[in-house]
């Protein structure tokens, strides 16, 4: 489906309306944060934040996950595959660079003894590609495991990993509170896959809404546990504007033009993501009231990504939202079996920086860099992530 044309004036109006709505949504949160020099980052999540845990996974990976270990993944910055689901750096990488800590080492590499040069006091990454917020029991009860859920590295499992590693980070209750209090915790993005898998199996948006409280409750449970251990600053991202995502546009097309907005995004899926984010924000507000001395920062991935889709040329992207640098599947040649990005024989683009979408699901380094910059400098975190050391983006 061709993207409806949108004028620059129309795009500007959409942008300002989006910002106005965002500001209104954030009025429920009134707390502020002071500047701090963070010494470490501890990250939980899925493929949006995975810096290589799948490299050290001992389970049999599905073809779509195994392909991330092959070129052209990592080609832009690292020049080799690192297990990151992009051509280069992720939001977590840019955040680490900004704060001034080393890029996070993946926990599974540490656990398996494959990574030797690591310092737990500089942070660890527990995020794993394909991970869900809900434990595997939820999907087993619905008969979904082994159908679309490729791993069992849920948020609860990742938190257990953190507990296992905690003695290497600190050795007493008071010591942990001091060390963890100087650390930044990134809890997410997580939960997106829970709904991705449900939608792939034909779950309606109305039914998916009924699972939103379950996902948010799990995230809330982990936040509370981390605070109990001594975490003082937690960044909790919402979901992206999935209605603009290449994968959703290709897999859930509509013949009704009314189902698309002026940027060519699917309204229903964006509305669902917006609904989820508002419920998450409300829960974070409740947690903030329970823990007034802790900084719980909402990271608005939805609007930070939406602006790229609404006005791609303003951010240097020449390709539309219906283009992907390394397509998820090779749909241009019917005589070739469907391929995942990273499998041999799949032609990729020459310049990923011109694309928002990298592999049809995940974004390019260029897109993640813009999103991180606007999270740190723009209106997309509440309260601000204030860093008294580190570098500017």
- Please confirm, yes or no, whether 98 is among the known catalytic residues: no
Average pLDDT over residues 18-36: 48
- Please confirm, yes or no, whether 10 is among the known catalytic residues: no
Burial of 312 (C-beta count, 10 Å sphere; 0-12/13-18/19+) = buried
Q: Which residue has the higher pLDDT, 252 or 22?
A: 252
C-alpha 301/C-alpha 236 separation (Å) is 10
Residue 268, pLDDT score? 98
Q: Which residue has the higher pLDDT, 118 or 123?
A: 123
Q: How confident is the model at residue 345 (pLDDT cuts 50, 70, 90)?
A: confident
C-alpha 175/C-alpha 177 separation (Å) is 5
Mean pLDDT rounded to a whole number for the chain: 87
Which candidate in 274, 300, 359, 374 is catalytic?
359
DSSP string computed for 6-34: --HHHHHHHHHHHHHHHHHHHTT------
Sketch the domain layout of the chain as residue ranges. Answer: 33-252+267-311+369-382
Least-confidence region, from 79-83, 256-260, 341-345, 386-390:
386-390
Residues 305-340: tens digit of each pLDDT: 999 999 999 999 999 999 999 976 544 444 445 578
Write down the pTM of the prediction. 0.89
C-beta atoms surrounding 17 within 10 Å: 10
Residue 218, pLDDT score? 98
Which candidate in 47, 64, 86, 357 is catalytic?
47
Euclidean distance between the first and the last CA atom of the chain, given in angstroms as a whole number: 36
If one looks up domain 33-252+267-311+369-382 in CATH, what number appears? 3.40.50
- Please confirm, yes or no, whether 18 is among the known catalytic residues: no
Residues 261-282: tens digit of each pLDDT: 999 999 999 999 999 999 999 9
Residue 158, pLDDT score? 97
Three-state secondary structure of 200-252: HCCCCHHHHHCCHHHHHHHHHHHHHHHHHHCCCEEEEECCCCHHHCHHHHHHC
């Amino acid at each position: 489906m061709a993207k409806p044309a949108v004028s620059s004036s129309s795009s500007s109006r959409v942008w300002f309306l989006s910002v106005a709505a965002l500001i209104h949504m954030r009025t429920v949160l009134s707390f502020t944060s002071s500047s701090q020099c963070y010494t470490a980052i501890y990250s939980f999540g899925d493929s949006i934040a995975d810096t290589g845990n799948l490299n050290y996974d001992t389970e049999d990976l599905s073809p779509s996950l195994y392909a991330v270990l092959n070129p052209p993944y990592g080609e832009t910055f690292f020049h080799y595959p690192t297990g990151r689901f992009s051509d280069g750096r992720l939001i977590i990488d840019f955040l680490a660079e900004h704060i001034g800590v080393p890029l996070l080492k993946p926990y599974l590499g540490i656990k398996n003894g494959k990574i030797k040069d690591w310092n737990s006091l500089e942070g660890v990454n527990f995020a794993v590609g394909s991970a869900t917020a809900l434990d595997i029991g939820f999907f087993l009860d619905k008969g979904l495991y082994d159908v679309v859920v490729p791993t069992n590295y849920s948020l609860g499992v990742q938190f257990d990993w953190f507990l296992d590693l905690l003695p290497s980070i600190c050795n007493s209750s008071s010591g942990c509170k001091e060390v963890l209090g100087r650390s930044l915790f990134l809890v997410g993005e997580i939960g997106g896959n829970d709904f991705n898998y449900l939608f792939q199996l034909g779950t309606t948006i109305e039914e998916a809404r009924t699972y939103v409280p379950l996902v948010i409750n799990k995230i809330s449970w982990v936040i509370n546990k981390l605070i109990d251990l001594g975490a003082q600053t937690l960044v909790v991202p919402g979901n992206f504007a999935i209605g603009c995502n290449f994968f959703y546009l290709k897999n859930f097309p509509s013949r009704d033009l009314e189902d698309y907005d002026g940027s060519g995004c699917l309204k229903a899926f964006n509305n669902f993501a917006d609904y989820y984010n508002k419920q998450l924000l409300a829960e974070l507000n409740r947690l903030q009231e329970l823990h007034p001395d802790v900084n719980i920062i909402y990271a608005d991935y939805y609007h930070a990504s939406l602006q790229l889709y609404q006005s791609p040329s303003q951010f240097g992207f020449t390709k539309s939202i219906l283009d992907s640098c390394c397509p998820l599947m090779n749909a241009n040649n019917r005589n070739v079996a469907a391929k995942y990005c990273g499998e041999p024989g799949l032609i990729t683009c020459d310049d990923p920086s011109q694309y928002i979408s990298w592999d049809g699901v995940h974004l390019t380094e260029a897109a993640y860099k813009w999103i991180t910059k606007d999270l740190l400098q723009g209106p997309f975190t509440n309260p601000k992530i204030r860093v008294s050391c580190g570098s500017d983006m």
